[in-house]
Structure 1
Amino acid sequence: MPNPPRKKKSPQTKVASESETSMVRLQRVLASAGFGSRRKCEELITEGRVDIDGQPVIELGTRVDPRASKIRVDGVSIRPAKLVYFALNKPVGIVTTNRDPQGRPRVIDLINEHQRVFPVGRLDRNSEGLILMTNDGDLSEMLAHPRHGVRKTYQVTVAGLVQAETLKQMREGVHFHEGRFQVEGVSIKRTRGKATELEIVLREGKNREIRRILARLGHKVVQLKRTAIGTLKLGDLPTGAYRPLNSREVKKLRDEVVASQAAAEADQPPRPRKGGARKGVARKTGPATGRPTAGRPAAGKPSAGGKMGAGRGKGVGRSAQAKPAGRRPGSSDIIISSESTGGSAGTVIGAPELAAPPAKPKRPAAGRRGTKKGATRGGAAARGKRKRR
């Protein structure tokens, strides 16, 4: 039978599908325009500082077509900007924030470009070194979020001589009220008089993490300088200067995010499967298909049908049936399940030592034949009656 001819999409359907693909989340549009990371852009939305075509928007998840809608932040229209990337060597005394109520110098003041950019991550005011400046909100989120685990390398000079036990404690972690602070790696580069220079690698950049760990272990940080973010190196860039990144460096950063996320997922223990075999429930194979059959209930408990399994006396426990003595069943052994024999336990042919032990004979009830010494109530009464006669 020939296939029916395909229906051609109407022009209206085509226009509708193109419109759906062009709709993107509002916070993503703001991040691409250089207003910060997606989390920062979400704050702009919830604070009521964004409007679309003159209508204020405060709901997260709002989708918009940036080509057809007019989007404004604080009354200023935005335009999609070209993505740019700069490596900056931050000096001491500069804050890594776009807004500072105290009016202190900011890292964005060091970038003399017409594009609007923001810093990826943070360095405290007393620290120096590599900062990535960009208007790419997606890459900023991937590099800064702890779940991606991108490595950051620091050169740290501390007061005092650092011992091997201190390095071990830094790797194992130090507990604070926020949780455990732990470095990915640490090594001693050199010692100068009563000072030690360390190289420290972090995956999660908590607030003043390095300074707080070393202070807890009895070492004051004299100098802290970030030297690398993933594959991006500071190199010989002068203090306070910046340079643009080429396409190859940007691609390496994106690849680093993917590789770090895969490594972080591999370090996590696998989750147990839902509906898996329970502990202590034996799995048997069926008589014909060889597929696993349902596990039998535990000893002393009724099965699904409400009947106790036949042949399971009090002397036969779970350990005797689930873990029999002797060798384990081999590939040549045949196991017949309880469904084919009518019993509650499977039978092993070809391995007599694996078969379940026979049930102990039940003790006869009182008043029946075979009772100890033949003493029953009826018998004692009859003998007493004969004596009285």
Structure 2
Amino acid sequence: MQQTGSREPQRIAKLLARAGVASRRDIERMIAEGRIAVNGSVIDTPATLLTSLHGVTVDGEAVQAAALARLFLFHKPAGVLTAARDPGGRATIYDRLPPDLPRLMPVGRLDLNTEGLLLMTTDGELKRQLELPSTGVERAYRARAYGAVTQEQLESLIEGVEIEGVRYGPIDANLERRTGANVWIEMILTEGKNREVRRVLEFLGLRVSRLIRTRYGPFVLADLPEGAIGEVRQHDLVAFRQSLGRGRAKEVAREQPIAVQGGAPARLPRSRPEQPPRERAPRPATPTPRPARPSAGTQKASARPERPPRPATAATLQKSGGAAPSASRARGPVRKPEVREELDTRPVAGEPTARAPRPKKGVGWAKAKPKARPTKPRRPRS
């Protein structure tokens, strides 16, 4: 990675773009307007070579040295322009970004109706490396199109195709599935020319109804919500830039995908003031013995009040043999088992039959016998 403070002379537009002032095109426009000066002298050409930004001012303010490059992943919604401003008043990506972010530049562009992953960085040099076809950074798209196409037609795109005098490079296209009259197609390319995916599919007789970019190099869209933005960790970005220098961008992109979580940009945790340790009371050398806890049976016995003895009645005196009940029999006299007397229920001549006594309910209960009818004495035969 080229450092801003190196002794190798570089164009002033490149240095200012790396410092996050503006894009190279905007810097060239600012130079033509006379807004940039070096050591107090206004420059008039973007070809001015410098070794550092020392003494460079923009609108009279000194330019700070370039900080570490930062990279963000943004899920661009459909119907939003990839531009800083629109003369027609349409919504742009900067209208959807949080206001507390640094100045970000989009890496490449997505059409108005194209959605998906959009890389945004603070470093103009990193932006240039990611956009150049010579670095071989892959872009993956998923397209929903109306019409009929075969896998053989899609495989023919691997050799490139020329449409209306424009030559498009190799495209790795695969048919994912069919849903009624529509087809879903995955396409991987390395150039990313203007409306390349749409024009190639229209050349095959298809009409694109939805286009999503799912990957840019090793950076994937994953589950990033629509309209959300997340920052790539610094060590992942450094490892990716090293792979670009070794020409291993394709291998790293397929082996180690990088995703981020949606929400606010990553921030360092807030430092909390140090608090003195809490003073704890010293424990006693001999622990205080706890009172014995009564058992459950003891608690129930103590909680239940004693019943007073019942007064002696004639019935209880007769059953107990004339003695009054003691305190141990406070809950009532003991019932003695009843003795049933067997009665002779056979009918006797000349006397009505007596009804048998019915046993008490609960003690030897049985079904009552049928009633016996009285019989008349027979008259002797003459």
Deviation at 1:186, TM superposition (A): 0.8
| Counterpart secondary structure, 1:257 | helix
Specify the alignment match of 1:89 in structure 2. Answer: 75
| Counterpart secondary structure, 2:144 | strand
2:5 is equivalent to residue 29 of structure 1:
no
Indicate conservation of the 8 Å contact 2:145/2:182, yes or no. yes
- 2:235 is matched with which residue: 222, 238, 248? 248
Distance 2:210 2:243 in 1: 27
More helix by share: 1
2:63 is equivalent to residue 78 of structure 1:
yes
CA deviations over 1:228-281 (Å, ceiling 9, x no partner) = 111111110000000011023213431443355898xxxxxxxxxxxxxxxxxx
Residue type of the alignment partner of 1:156: A
Cα distance change on mapping 1:103 and 1:236 into 2, 3 Å: same
Residue type of the alignment partner of 2:154: L
Deviation at 1:115, TM superposition (A): 1.4
CA deviations over 1:203-231 (Å, ceiling 9, x no partner) = 10111001011112110111111111111
2:17 is equivalent to residue 64 of structure 1:
no
Indicate conservation of the 8 Å contact 1:36/1:135, yes or no. no
Deviation at 1:179, TM superposition (A): 2.3
Distance 1:109 1:54 in 2: 36
Normalising to structure 2: TM-score of the pair? 0.57
Residue type of the alignment partner of 2:80: I
Specify the alignment match of 1:160 in structure 2. Answer: 147
Indicate conservation of the 8 Å contact 2:151/2:175, yes or no. no
- 1:119 is matched with which residue: 101, 106, 116? 106
Percent identity, aligned pairs only, is 36
2:95 is equivalent to residue 109 of structure 1:
yes
Distance 1:169 1:49 in 2: 51
Deviation at 1:157, TM superposition (A): 0.9
- 1:195 is matched with which residue: 174, 182, 189? 182
CA deviations over 1:154-196 (Å, ceiling 9, x no partner) = 1111112321232034223332345212343111111111111
Residue type of the alignment partner of 1:86: F
Distance 1:177 1:187 in 2: 24
Residue type of the alignment partner of 1:80: A
Deviation at 1:60, TM superposition (A): 3.2
CA deviations over 1:327-367 (Å, ceiling 9, x no partner) = xxxxxxxxxxxxxxxxxxxxxxxxxxxxxxxxxxxxxxxxx
Residue type of the alignment partner of 1:107: I
Specify the alignment match of 1:302 in structure 2. Answer: none
Deviation at 1:79, TM superposition (A): 2.6
Indicate conservation of the 8 Å contact 2:105/2:122, yes or no. yes
Specify the alignment match of 1:129 in structure 2. Answer: 116
Indicate conservation of the 8 Å contact 1:232/1:249, yes or no. no
Moved more, 174-183 or 91-100: 174-183
Cα distance change on mapping 1:238 and 1:54 into 2, 3 Å: same
Distance 1:226 1:33 in 2: 28
Deviation at 1:138, TM superposition (A): 1.1
| Counterpart secondary structure, 2:14 | helix
Indicate conservation of the 8 Å contact 1:24/1:65, yes or no. yes
2:214 is equivalent to residue 238 of structure 1:
no
Structure number with larger C-alpha Rg: 2
Distance 2:39 2:217 in 1: 41
Deviation at 1:59, TM superposition (A): 2.3
Aligned pair count?
245
Residue type of the alignment partner of 1:111: L
Distance 2:28 2:81 in 1: 22
Distance 1:255 1:65 in 2: 23
Specify the alignment match of 1:139 in structure 2. Answer: 126
| Counterpart secondary structure, 1:100 | coil
Provide runs of 4+ in structure 1 moved above 6 Å: none
Residue type of the alignment partner of 2:124: G
Distance 2:22 2:32 in 1: 15
Deviation at 1:46, TM superposition (A): 5.1
Cα distance change on mapping 1:193 and 1:49 into 2, 3 Å: farther
Indicate conservation of the 8 Å contact 1:36/1:117, yes or no. no
Deviation at 1:67, TM superposition (A): 5.5
Normalising to structure 1: TM-score of the pair? 0.56
RMSD: 2.8
CA deviations over 1:276-324 (Å, ceiling 9, x no partner) = xxxxxxxxxxxxxxxxxxxxxxxxxxxxxxxxxxxxxxxxxxxxxxxxx
Deviation at 1:116, TM superposition (A): 1.0
Deviation at 1:126, TM superposition (A): 0.6
Moved more, 109-118 or 131-140: 109-118
Distance 2:53 2:227 in 1: 37
Distance 2:73 2:185 in 1: 23
Indicate conservation of the 8 Å contact 1:108/1:119, yes or no. no
